Amino acid sequence: MTAAVGDAAPASAELAAPLLSVDRLSVRFLLGRKGKRGEVRAVTDVSFDLRPGQLLTLVGESGCGKSVLASALLGLLPGNARLRGAATLSTSDSDPVELVSAAESVLAGRVRGRLVGLVPQSSATHLTPVRTARSQLLETVRALRPGVDDPAGLVEHLAERVGLEPAVLDRYPHELSGGTAQRVAVALALAGDPPVVLADEPTTGLDRPLVDRTVDLLAGLAEEGRAVLMITHDLAAARRVATDVAVMYASRLVELGPADRVFADPWHPYTAGLLGALPEGGFTPIPGHPPELTALPDGCAFAPRCALLAGGGPERDARCTGAPELVRHGDRAVACRRPC
């Protein structure tokens, strides 16, 4: 039995309505004047829901479109980007906002920081070098929550929430370790009390104990009822905290579902390949390379590597020539036409 993915309800948060509902979102970048030098298909027909309590990890090889997807949700793409589809934010205390068509004034005034908090990839470089962590937090709290009675107290509360020692607040960014700067970045993302948090590679450059502490912190945000989307290369970190997982390949989602079951029993050969490349999977890299996003094939973009994984040549299975729609099966979804 199959159905459209938009109505898939993740097992982890069955009853809650989605805070963010992404429906066939596509992003392409025009190259050259008016696209005369072609285009990059960075995100193609991506659909998923994000509910309170969910920590959805988005995984996939470098360049597959993960960051572009996050930037699209925040209206942070450059002028050569063209968007299609919809992404609707629905919170209990404000009218729904459709992010793809929203004006910049709405994104800046209502969405960024207030409804959607962003933990950026390189937190240390994101912080202003000449100001202490406390002064940056205070400024952000004052800007995002002008009505708050005691902004200085709220800054201390945020610091405690993310596990920062109070003394650290009076340090400058260059005096912070990578893990501490990451905590300041999470505190900044929480300053406007956003119901949705996007974290783009929040653990890059951290050693394992700090990776664990950072992802546990994000898991805590989901447990308190926020919806968290975490982009990561680190499948071990994803496995530790994710409630759900979305796997992206060459601009499309190829698998989506509850993390425990996707990791235990991957349905898409690409997901299986990613798991096989982990130490416990035997360090077997996926043969071949992803296609250029300027020249995506009409059928399944993974088909040549899929054939190599299966031990044959890169010939395309006849079933792999059609469009690889993400098709729902219960609370999981997969974009593969070969039976698994």
Ligand X SMILES: Nc1ncnc2c1ncn2[C@@H]1O[C@H](COP(=O)(O)OP(=O)(O)OP(=O)(O)O)[C@@H](O)[C@H]1O
Residues that contact Ni ion, how many (by CB under 5 A): 2
Q: Does 62 bind ligand X (CB under 6 A)?
A: yes
Q: Does 29 bind ligand X (CB under 6 A)?
A: yes
Q: Does 198 bind ligand X (CB under 6 A)?
A: no
Q: Does 286 bind ligand X (CB under 6 A)?
A: no
| Site track for ligand X across 216-255, x = CB under 6 A | -----------------x----------------------
Retrieve residue 238's tokens.
């994803």
Residues numbered 38 to 77 that lie near Ni ion (CB under 5 A) are 66-67
Q: Which stretch binds ligand X (CB under 6 A): 65-73, 134-142, 161-169, 171-179?
A: 65-73
Cα 90 to Cα 96: distance, rounded to the nearest angstrom: 4
Q: Does 80 bind ligand X (CB under 6 A)?
A: yes
Supply the DSSP string of 29-77, one letter for each residue.
EE-SGGGTT-EEEEEEEEEEEE-TT-EEEEE--TTSSHHHHHHHHTT--
Q: Does 66 bind ligand X (CB under 6 A)?
A: yes
- Which has the closest alpha carbon to 332: 241, 280, 242, 268? 268
To the nearest whole angstrom, how small is the minimum distance from the Cβ of residue 87 to ligand X? 15
Choosing among Ni ion, ligand X, none, which partner's interface includes residue 78 (Cβ < 5 to 8 Å by kind)? ligand X
Q: Does 63 bind ligand X (CB under 6 A)?
A: yes
Q: Which stretch binds ligand X (CB under 6 A): 63-71, 170-178, 276-284, 325-333?
A: 63-71
CB atoms within 10 A of CB 160: 12
Q: Does 138 bind ligand X (CB under 6 A)?
A: no
CB atoms within 10 A of CB 261: 16
Cα 182 to Cα 186: distance, rounded to the nearest angstrom: 6
Are 158 and 185 in contact by the 8 Å Cβ rule? The answer is no
Q: Does 324 bind ligand X (CB under 6 A)?
A: no
Residue with tokens 């607040």: 169
At 216, give phi and psi (nearest 5°): -65, -35
Q: Does 293 bind ligand X (CB under 6 A)?
A: yes
Order of all β-strands in the sheet with 39-50: 39-50, 20-30, 81-89, 97-98
* CB nearer to ligand X: pick between 292 and 315: 292
Positions touching Ni ion (CB under 5 A) are 66-67
Which residues of this protein are in contact with ligand X, per CB under 6 A?
29, 40, 42, 60, 62-68, 78, 80, 233, 293
